[in-house]
């Protein structure tokens, strides 16, 4: 079932991170992509947490999109915070944070950031393996 798309908006607040994780799990199970749930939920958690921690005061909502096309699951998280684009950084061993994009980088086939007219979209691609297709 290639070509599916699902887009949802969440309020920029802490409880939306858990809601986004639950939502992604539900959609992937409906799409029969249960093998991608753990990695996709973790990536969702990291990207949604970044929105909540860094995009406060710039908009009431963030958007989460899931797209399945050509053997790839595309996860996108968009917000209206445009002043700083996320970058993969190397945190020190004593740093308490800054590892989220390392997880995104490790779990996804590829990922990136693109600006929008207002804000940005962080995206990640996860391969859909043949055993996971219906």
Residue ranges covered by each domain of the chain = 4-132
pTM, whole model, 2 decimals? 0.85
Residue 93 has a pLDDT of 65
Residues 6+ apart with CB under 8 A from 52: 12, 13, 14, 16, 17
Q: Which residues of the chain have pLDDT under 50?
A: 1, 131-134
Residue 132 has a pLDDT of 44
Residue 96 has a pLDDT of 56
At residue 121, φ and ψ (nearest 5 deg) are -125, 125
CATH topology of domain 4-132: Heat Shock Protein 90 (3.30.565)
Residue 133 has a pLDDT of 44
């Amino acid at each position: 079932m290639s070509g599916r798309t699902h887009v949802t908006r969440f309020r920029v607040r802490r409880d939306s991170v858990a809601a986004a994780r639950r939502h992604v799990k539900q959609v992937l199970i409906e799409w029969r992509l249960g093998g991608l749930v753990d990695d996709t939920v973790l990536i969702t958690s990291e990207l949604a947490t970044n929105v909540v921690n860094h995009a406060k005061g710039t908009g009431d909502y963030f958007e989460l999109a899931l797209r399945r096309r050509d053997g790839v699951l595309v996860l996108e998280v968009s917000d209206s915070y445009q002043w700083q684009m996320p970058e993969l950084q190397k945190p020190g061993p004593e740093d308490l944070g800054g590892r989220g994009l390392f997880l995104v980088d490790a779990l996804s086939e590829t990922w990136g950031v693109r600006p929008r007219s207002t804000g940005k979209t962080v995206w990640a691609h996860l391969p859909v393996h043949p055993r996971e297709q219906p």
